[in-house]
Amino acid sequence: MNWYYNEFIQVYTFKDGDNTNLLLYSYGIQDGIGGEYESLEYVKGSNSRIKIGNDIVDLCKVMINNEYYIYVYCDDSYVSTMNVNYHRYHDILIYGYDDQTQSFDVFAYNGSKLKRFMVSYNDFISAYHSKYTDRFDNYICFCKKRENYDFSINTEKIRWHILDYLDGVDTLRRERPLLLSPQKATWGINTYDEIINMYEKSFQQQKLIRMPEIYCFMEHKKDWLNRIVYFKEQNLLNFNDGIYDNFVELKNCAEVIVNLTIKFNLKIENNICDKKLLNKLLYAFQNCLELDKTALMLYYNHNKQIFNNL
């Protein structure tokens, strides 16, 4: 939890074709899997498919027996326990197996939410070796928690990431100037403009909003509430009742946005143009934006003496 709450303060959006992606920023995240999570050790597989046929199942079982998780990309359309009826190249996490049912225990996006479910060995073989994945890097990675790993919270990093967020600073460029930022990236508080623009554009084109981005938005606000409580428990940073209430209100506002977005998508699916609903969403985002700025500024100023003494 030290590592988790030390990270993911900053957020950024970037364009992928017509899509606007919202992601949590972690130092090193641009290196790809295998370097960013300091609490894990990795056996990094190839970016191309490991061509061992059905033996891919035995390889995964050997790694699980040695306390590794398997992070792998495959074609979800071959997984009968997933709600995907089209070719989709996506990541899953395999964390266990059961030879009696001939299946893996998996954690992945199934529908619009992360879920735990089972994937048969045969389905996994087909999904991993799908011809559709030939156009992509067929990534597989084995990772496990480092033994006797002690991660200390970096309060100075937290300070700078809060300021970056409030000022819309490109944290990646500041921390790693030689690395390129994602295409057309916006950072921190400025991501609200991109998200609002995404909703307006989706309404005009009657196009569904991608839910992973909005769940990510909500989780960021939820984590801020959990983060300030955790830091107080660790005797690192503090808050008063007013600041706490601001973060609660921020979290609640983000949850309202998720629920309104689900309704927004249902309307589009039924070919209904509901301008009032769009306006409700835009108002909620503006409210969330003000709460976000207020809560973080009050929190930062409340702990200013601690930050200034770093």
Would the pLDDT of 284 be above 90? yes
Please, are residues 238 and 302 in contact by the beta-carbon 8 Å criterion? yes
Residue spans per domain, the chain? 2-30+151-308, 40-145
Q: Which comes out higher in pLDDT, residue 287 or 32?
A: 287
The phi, psi pair for 282, rounded to 5°, reads -65, -40
Q: Which comes out higher in pLDDT, residue 34 or 227?
A: 227
C-alpha of 267 from chain center = 26
Question: What pLDDT score was predicted for residue 47?
Answer: 66
Lowest mean pLDDT among 148-157, 190-199, 285-294: 148-157
Question: What pLDDT score was predicted for residue 148?
Answer: 80
Question: What pLDDT score was predicted for residue 296?
Answer: 98
Whole-number percent of the chain with pLDDT over 70: 94
- pLDDT tens-digit series, residues 62-113: 999 999 999 999 999 999 999 888 999 999 999 999 999 999 999 998 876 7
Contacts of 127 (CB under 8 A, 6+ apart): 74, 75, 76, 77, 78, 79, 119
Please, are residues 68 and 84 in contact by the beta-carbon 8 Å criterion? no
- pLDDT tens-digit series, residues 24-61: 998 754 444 334 567 778 776 666 678 888 999 999 99
- Topology of domain 40-145, per CATH? Cathepsin B; Chain A (3.90.70)
- pLDDT tens-digit series, residues 236-258: 999 999 999 999 999 999 999 99
Measured at the alpha carbon of residue 25, what is the angle toward residues 159 and 232, in degrees to the nearest 5?
40
Measured at the alpha carbon of residue 171, what is the angle toward residues 137 and 158, in degrees to the nearest 5?
115
Please, are residues 253 and 292 in contact by the beta-carbon 8 Å criterion? no
Mean pLDDT, the chain, rounded, equals: 91
Strand partners, 23: 12
In the three-class reduction of DSSP (H, G, I as helix; E, B as strand; rest coil), residue 98 is classed as strand
Query: What's the whole-number mean pLDDT along residues 172-192?
Result: 86
Question: What pLDDT score was predicted for residue 135?
Answer: 76
Tell me the Ramachandran region of residue 34: left when phi exceeds 0, alpha when psi lies from -120 to 50, beta otherwise. Answer: left
In the three-class reduction of DSSP (H, G, I as helix; E, B as strand; rest coil), residue 277 is classed as helix
Q: Which comes out higher in pLDDT, residue 179 or 219?
A: 219
- pLDDT tens-digit series, residues 114-131: 899 999 999 999 999 998
Query: What's the whole-number mean pLDDT along residues 206-235?
Result: 95
Instruction: Tell me the C-alpha distance between 173 and 181, whole Å.
Output: 7
Tokens representing 81 are 């326990």
Amino acid identity of residue 106, one-letter, is V
The phi, psi pair for 117, rounded to 5°, reads -160, -175
Question: What pLDDT score was predicted for residue 46?
Answer: 62
- pLDDT tens-digit series, residues 174-183: 888 887 777 7
Question: What pLDDT score was predicted for residue 43?
Answer: 78
Going from the C-alpha of 307 to that of each of 159, 226, 299, the distances in angstroms are 7, 20, 11
**Number of residues assigned to the chain:** 310
In the three-class reduction of DSSP (H, G, I as helix; E, B as strand; rest coil), residue 65 is classed as helix
